[in-house]
Structure 1
Amino acid sequence: MTGAIVLLSAGLDSTVAFKRAFDTFDTVVCLTFNYHQRSASREITSAAAICKKFNCEHHVINLPWYKDFSGSLTTDKELPAPSQNDLDDLKRSEQTARNVWVPARNIVFLSIAAAFAEEKGFDNIVAGFNSEEATTFPDNTPEFIELINRTMEYATLNHPVIFAPVRDLDKEEIVRLGIKIKAPMEYSWSCYTAGPVPCDICESCARRKRAFKRAGIPDPLISSEGKS
């Protein structure tokens, strides 16, 4: 029997990665992290809904010490609000990435996932790393994945590896894949805030909006929330 631990924030990327994992492995167990990000409550609710729909084990991992860290995701600092044109401006995107950076977040998440994988005897850890975010977030890159896999050879007994099914895709391609594999994108939540509806201002909302527009597909979340 094959198994995987899925890092499920319920964002667009992790939701599509989850569905690919669900279709690939015999068993998936999902982890959602509460690191006192603004969107925590909505991420947890959305991830729980996805797991309920697919009858998957779900754990919420609390990381309370992150609340004392700086950064606009975990404090009340103003969130960057890039325009659609800014999204392809590398300098502006790098500045936005610095503003929303959470110290060592992904490696913390992966370390916890590795512990779950080792305990359950699973060989895979699933993450929504993708090419669009890899341009500004080094912990989304293929090089990062390779280094983590090498680290797992020393840090664990069973050596789980990263399964990143959207690693080479941009957001538009992720949307298209999500439609193809029937990912539950209507439950996904990309906004940096907790709602009740997406802010339509933050970078994550902007990238999601562009992705669905370029794919020529209505955003199922927006349709279900009744926001045009």
Structure 2
Amino acid sequence: MVDAVLVLSGGMDSAVLLAQTLNQGKTVEAVSFDYGSKHNARELPMARDLCAHFNIPHQVILLPFINALFSSSLLAGGETVPDGAYTAATMKSTVVPFRNGIMLAIAAGYAESINASQVLLGSHSGDHHIYPDCRPGFNSAFRDAVYIGTDKKVMVCFPFSGMDKRDIGDLGRKLDLDFTKTWTCYKGLALHCGTCGACNERKYALRHEEGLDATTYLA
């Protein structure tokens, strides 16, 4: 029996959630999604390595229609990812329409198929003002829809919904997570750019200004 299916991007939030869930003694399978983002090629190897490190099953699910049909600067076919602060004005172009809804629906179907009672997603409060499918109203409604739609077999949980990214960074440090084994930068370069909104948020989360961030940045 598997307790939970965890949506693992290879980023720091989902990596911390994986470490926490395993630390709680739960059995986990991870699913990652290759949907054509600029940084999928950097994130997915991190997700694979994390699952190998923790010795848990891992599925990579291909969603090529997202890059083909949807509009977002986060996607390979989109405009340039903006630099600057992690604010709604800067990051609005990186919204991938209904991405979490699509991924959670697939994860819920898989969870029901393997008799797992939970789906876990690491979205957090810092995303609320930018991404509509990370907000409490969405989380609550989608949780209820999945619960009803799986005949009360699967519950979607958002353990970090009340935390900001620094809270998550601090938790990961307590769990001895190696953050260099995670990826954040939206540009998908060989190294974290250090200037996009996602990198700036990572620096904040990992207390870069205090010298605690081991990430190598281009700037």
TM-score normalized by the length of structure 2? 0.91
Which residue number corresponds to residue 109 of structure 2? Answer: 115
Which of 191, 195, 203 pairs up with 1:197? Answer: 191
Instruction: Provide the rounded CA distance (Å) in 1 between the counterparts of 2:108 and 2:61.
Output: 13
Higher helix share: 1
The residue number in structure 2 matching 1:78 is 80
Instruction: Report the CA distance shift for 1:98/1:130 in structure 2 as closer, same or farther (over 3 A).
Output: same
Which runs of 5 or more residues in structure 1 are unaligned? Answer: 88-92
1:158 deviates by 4.4
CA contact (8 A) 1:35 1:66 kept: yes
Gap runs ≥5 in structure 2:
none
Distance in structure 2 (CA, Å) of the matches to 1:197 and 1:110: 29
Corresponding position: 1:150 with 2:152: no
Provide, for residues 159-212 of structure 1, a one-character-per-residue CA deviation record: whole Å limited to 9, x for no partner. 322232222111111111111122342211001122311111211001111222
Q: Which residue of 2 aligns with 1:90?
A: none
Deviation track 1:32-75 (CA, whole Å, cap 9, x = no partner) reads 11110001111110000100000010111100111222211112
- Cα deviation for residue 113 of structure 1 reads 0.4
Aligned to 1:220, the other structure's residue is in SS state coil
Residue pair 2:20, 2:175 contacting (<8 A) in 1 also: yes
Query: RMSD over aligned Cα, in angstroms?
Result: 2.0
- TM-score w.r.t. the length of structure 1 is 0.87
Q: Residue in 2 aligned with 1:167? A: 161
Identity %: 29
Q: Which residue of 2 aligns with 1:57?
A: 57
Tell me, in whole angstroms, the C-alpha distance in 2 between the residues paired with 1:108 and 1:23: 28
Please tell me the residue identity of whatever aligns with 1:109: M
Aligned twin of 1:23: 23
Report how many residues are paired.
217
1:129 counterpart letter in structure 2:
S
SS class of match (2:10): coil
Q: How does 1:85-96 map to 2 (within 5 A)?
A: 86-87=85-86, 93-96=87-90
Q: Which amino acid aligns with 1:211?
A: A
C-alpha separation between the residues in 1 aligned to 2:7 and 2:143?
A: 16
- Match in the other structure for 2:36: 36
Q: 2:216 matched to 1:216? A: no
Q: Is the 8 A contact 2:46 2:182 kept in 1?
A: yes
Which of these residues, 104, 109, 117, is aligned with residue 98 of structure 2?
A: 104
Partner SS for 2:191: coil
Q: Please tell me whether the aligned partners of residues 5 and 31 of structure 1 are also in contact (alpha carbons under 8 angstroms).
A: yes
> SS in structure 2 opposite 1:32?
strand
Within 1, Cα distance between the matches of 2:79 and 2:160? 31
Q: Residues 24 and 153 (structure 1 numbering): CA distance in 2 closer, same or farther, change over 3 Å?
A: same
**Secondary structure, aligned partner of 1:59:** strand
